Amino acid sequence: MTFSSKVRTVLEMIKFEHSVFALPFALTGALLAVRESGLELHALWGKFGWIVVAMVAARSAAMAFNRVADAEIDARNQRTKVRAIPAGLVSKSFTWGFIVFWSVILFAAAYMLNRLCLKLAPAALLIVFGYSYTKRFTALSHLVLGFALGIAPAAAWIAIRGTLDWPILLLTAGVMLWTAGFDIIYSCQDQEFDRLEGLFSIPRSMGVRAALMVARLLHVGMMAMLVWLSQVLDLGYLSLAGIGVVAVLLAYEHSLVKPQDLSRVNAAFFTMNGFVSILFFLFWAADILLLTPGGAAT
């Protein structure tokens, strides 16, 4: 297999296109920081570019690390044994090179953003790498994954303002609850495997029916965080409309999955959550850019 073929295999293995999950929330965090700072958006395109690079780099390194850390477990799981490493399509050593490459890119992007971003880059990597081991000892691993994605908007806020301010933590909490909810739905597929392997998850601990209820409650919590943030930052009606759209999409997502029928989990996990993140960003970006006098709109 050629080098380029191996790279394509790793990109497919980590579902590179699913960077869309966290990136729109990161960009929302950046736009909110621009709005709250009264900065001119046209002067910050370079920073937005480095934010995108940093987010893609962090996710790529984290997902590749997860595939290395879980390679032996994946090989024993009927659902995941076809992944590239257990299937022998790419080696661990090559994947480690991929991880190092994207980690270096993350540090370079953080350096280009500001001093605080560079100082926090090691902590960010520790969080996103550390998630891979949490299901070995706690059913709260879903929340750890949520936090790993939830730091994206906070990191983007820091990239623009150079400080961490409490309002953006509401968006971090919202993304954390959203991610934990859909990860619980996804992990329902592995309830029996987790039990046999001694791995921890909400579906294994509580059963699929109760786990789906927990996922619903987490998504209700997400809605509460978004409404709170909209009120704290005095956003306009488009932000509330965006929250309404997200609520409808999540309700539909939950309608796709039943305790006795998990056949549509992939549609609920990948398709619907991609729509959630993109449409949320579009509504909130429109609110910030169109309804804010001066500042980000200039």
pLDDT at 296 over 60: no
Write out the residue range of the structural domain in which residue 219 sits.
14-297
Please report whether residue 8 resides in a domain. no
> pLDDT confidence of 11, banded at 50, 70, 90?
confident
Q: pLDDT value at position 272?
A: 87
Does residue 248 carry a pLDDT above 80?
yes
Rounded to whole angstroms, the Cα distance separating 257 from 273 reads 14
Is 2 within a domain?
Answer: no
List pLDDT tens digits, range 181-196.
999 999 999 999 999 9
Domain assignment present for 237: yes
Asked if the structure places residue 41 within a domain, the reply is yes
Whether 298 has a pLDDT exceeding 50, the answer reads no
Task: Confirm whether 229 is domain-assigned.
Answer: yes
H or E stretch at 66: helix 45-69
Q: pLDDT value at position 293?
A: 60
222 touches 25 (CB < 8 A): no
Closest CA to 245 of 209, 275, 270: 275
**Which residues lie closer than 8 Å to 65 by C-beta, 6 or more apart?**
99, 128, 129, 132
For residues 260 and 160, what is the distance between their CA atoms, to the nearest angstrom? Answer: 46
User: pLDDT for 23-58, tens place per residue?
Assistant: 999 999 999 999 999 888 888 899 999 999 999 999
What is the domain count for the chain?
1
Residue 295 scores a pLDDT above 50: no
Does 297 have pLDDT greater than 50?
A: no
Mean pLDDT of the chain: 93
φ, ψ at 20 (rounded to 5°): -60, -20
Residue 189: which residues within 8 A CB-CB, separation 6 or more?
A: 79, 262, 265
The pLDDT tens digits of the residues spanning 218-246 come to: 999 999 999 999 999 999 999 999 999 99
Only one residue has tokens 């549609």, namely 267
Q: Is the pLDDT of residue 22 over 90?
A: no
For residue 131, pLDDT over 90 is answered with yes
Residue 5 lies in a domain: no
| The model's pTM | 0.94
Q: Which residues, 6+ apart, have CB-to-CB distance to 231 below 8 Å?
A: none
Average pLDDT over residues 67-90: 94
CATH number at residue 248: 1.10.357.140
| Domain assignment present for 3 | no
* Average pLDDT, integer, range 260-281: 87
Cα 84 from Cα 6, distance rounded (Å): 10
The predicted pLDDT at position 18 comes to 67
**Residue 31 domain flag:** yes
